[in-house]
Structure 1
Amino acid sequence: MPTQLPHLIVATTRPSETARWADEFRKVYPDWKVDEFVAGQPSTGATYAIVWQPDAALFKQEPHLRATFNLGAGVDAVAGTIPAEMPLYRLEDAGMAEQMAEYALYGVLRAVGRFQPYEEQAREGKWKAYRPIDRRQWPVAVLGLGAIGSKIAKVIASLGYPVHGWSRRLHEADFPCYAGEKGLKECVSASRILVNALPLTPQTEGLINRDVLSNLQPGGYLINVARGGHLVDADVLDALKSGHLSGALLDAFTQEPLPADHPYWGVPSVMVTPHISGITVRELALEQIGSRIELLQQGKPATGRVNHSQGY
């Protein structure tokens, strides 16, 4: 008996975005049935959900779901709404790792002042060369060594910056790696630039606080490409005010859009970006999710499954 074709239901934060993703799946997989989630409607009988910050009602309204696919690498926005027994899959890279490595590298270049003096003097019509950066004075700690964090670390290390990596479990790499609470202190203490690429879990929420920042070498710099919930904003602001942090490049916040009266806007050494360090590449996401569904249809395992107890 032939296997029944996949039946998808798409649920995102906005109806227009839901419709756009649904249309894309219909184009790439024309034989599959694709519905758009509307709260309060009868069950569509869908077997796979494609989501981004979905309404929790989705999982009650669609009791036949076999698995859920998140349209991003971070699953913190769906982890609290999805049933614990529901298989949840996250995107693995899907074009985001290169973008986020590029973003982090830009932050490193801002931290070391590679081009800032030239930008300033160009506006004044001045011609003056400066001594090259001594990269040994700017060691970088990368927190989180998944697909994205590892890419960030490798790109920065390839340019001669000393790199240290920290993760929940000890990794092996071409640079020093650490794990655990003691390892976190050692990793950060060895560094002057801190790049956060961690998943947001109950264990990592508020991790970048006064204690962690105090271990960073004086005149340090913070780059956040992960989630706003990792940062204790008051502690970051205090470190900036004291000069222990010379600046920060921040892409994610606990409230988005960042409110107009948030203190970060008023700090000249802080650059705020609207959560754009890693934007899902639609074509790659469609291909990755589709190939995983095909594997599940054949009774085969697929990569990217989230461990509910760990949150990633």
Structure 2
Amino acid sequence: MRVLFAAPARQWDEWAPALTAACPEMELCRDGAPDSFDALIYAPGYPEDGATLDFTPFTRARVVQSLWAGVERIVTNPTLTQPLCRMVDPGLAQGMVEYCLGWAMRAHLGMDNYPQDGVWRNGVVPPLASGRGVTVLGMGELGRAVSAALVALGFRVTGWSQSGRPVDGVEVLPGRALPDALRRAEILVSLLPDTPETRNLLDAPRLSLLPKGAVIINAGRGTLIDEDALLHALDSGHLGHAILDVFRQEPLPADHPFWVNPRVTVTPHIAADTRPETAAPVAAENLRRAMRGEPLLHRVDLTRGY
């Protein structure tokens, strides 16, 4: 099968060896006649001249396999009619679990409450995990993995998704029950995608539903949160802290108020990365499935955007 590597050129040296090792029957190409390709492996930033990729000439392509978990920068392309699959791989999920678990434990234990200044502060002891409510917004592959890890540590975990589809070991509330999910969230973890329904989901009225002192961990998409409302909720003391890995504009501008707010921790979109060694086998499996006419892994509903 002929496959176009439709990703920025700088990624070729990193990805080509892993992809060809995982799928040796594939001819991986950097260019060629569009109608000669059976599939595309895609990452945002292609083509590199800034133009929007026209999928229309790729008449033979049976699948477009994204190298990213987020697909908001491709689903709006009106020329895309081929099946699109987002990337969900073990390394990506493990990275997200480690990030969310690390920051959730830091918030839970109050690790920042003990400056090394010679003052003995033993008046406040954190509760056990079983006494702490954590809500996870978004119960896809990543949300389920993070929820399972939190449950394993003993946290009282509530999941929330628009569908409310059941997940073993976690109470999942449906879309209409978002207020209840927020009221339970002493720690709120957001892993939601960027869709019209999720943009500004956490506005001022909804942020006010969170318990006083709640901590937000956003590793989903920056468009979820109304930034001005978040800053107001933090500065007023209603919210305790926000750990933010994703933003409306990336890189986050140096003069953005998040950088200097003592109740905000900025991390530079590093919560979870797609690693070639774990992602290439997933891409290879989808390429084989496409060629055999079998159901694809992690296929995107283009009408819903995820």
Q: Does the alignment reach a TM-score above 0.5?
A: yes
- Which moves more between the two structures, 105-114 or 17-26? 17-26
Answering whether residue 276 of structure 2 is matched by residue 282 of structure 1, we say yes
Q: What's the offset of the Cα at 1:34? A: 1.2
Q: What's the offset of the Cα at 1:168? A: 1.1
Partner of 1:3: none
Contact 1:22/1:35 (8 A) holds in 2 = no
How do 1:1-312 residues align onto structure 2 when only pairs under 5 Å count? 6-12=1-7, 14-37=8-31, 42-43=33-34, 45-53=36-44, 54-55=46-47, 56-60=52-56, 62-81=58-77, 83-118=79-114, 120-121=115-116, 124=117, 132-134=125-127, 135=129, 138-172=132-166, 173-181=168-176, 183-312=177-306
Q: Give me the whole-angstrom Cα distance separating, in 1, the residues matched to 2:244 and 2:71.
A: 20
Q: Which amino acid aligns with 1:98?
A: Q
Contact 1:93/1:148 (8 A) holds in 2 = no
Equivalent residue of 1:164, what SS? strand
Q: Give me the whole-angstrom Cα distance separating, in 2, the residues matched to 1:216 and 1:95.
A: 31
Q: Which amino acid aligns with 1:47?
A: D
Contact 2:55/2:81 (8 A) holds in 1 = no
Q: Give me the whole-angstrom Cα distance separating, in 2, the residues matched to 1:216 and 1:188.
A: 5
Equivalent residue of 1:311, what SS? coil
Q: Give me the whole-angstrom Cα distance separating, in 2, the residues matched to 1:171 and 1:253.
A: 28
Cα 1:18–1:255 change in 2 (3 A) is farther
Q: What's the offset of the Cα at 1:92? A: 2.2
After superposition, the C-alpha distances for 1:54-110 in whole angstroms (9 at most, x for unaligned) are 342252453432210011222112111263521001122332122112111222123
Length-normalised TM-score, structure 2: 0.89
Contact 1:35/1:44 (8 A) holds in 2 = no
Contact 2:216/2:243 (8 A) holds in 1 = yes
- Which moves more between the two structures, 16-25 or 246-255? 16-25
Contact 2:19/2:276 (8 A) holds in 1 = no
Q: What's the offset of the Cα at 1:263? A: 0.8
- Using the aligned pairs only, state the percent identity: 32
Equivalent residue of 1:79, what SS? coil
Q: Which amino acid aligns with 1:66?
A: R
Contact 1:74/1:90 (8 A) holds in 2 = yes
Q: Give me the whole-angstrom Cα distance separating, in 1, the residues matched to 2:41 and 2:132.
A: 42
Length-normalised TM-score, structure 1: 0.88
Q: What's the offset of the Cα at 1:170? A: 1.5
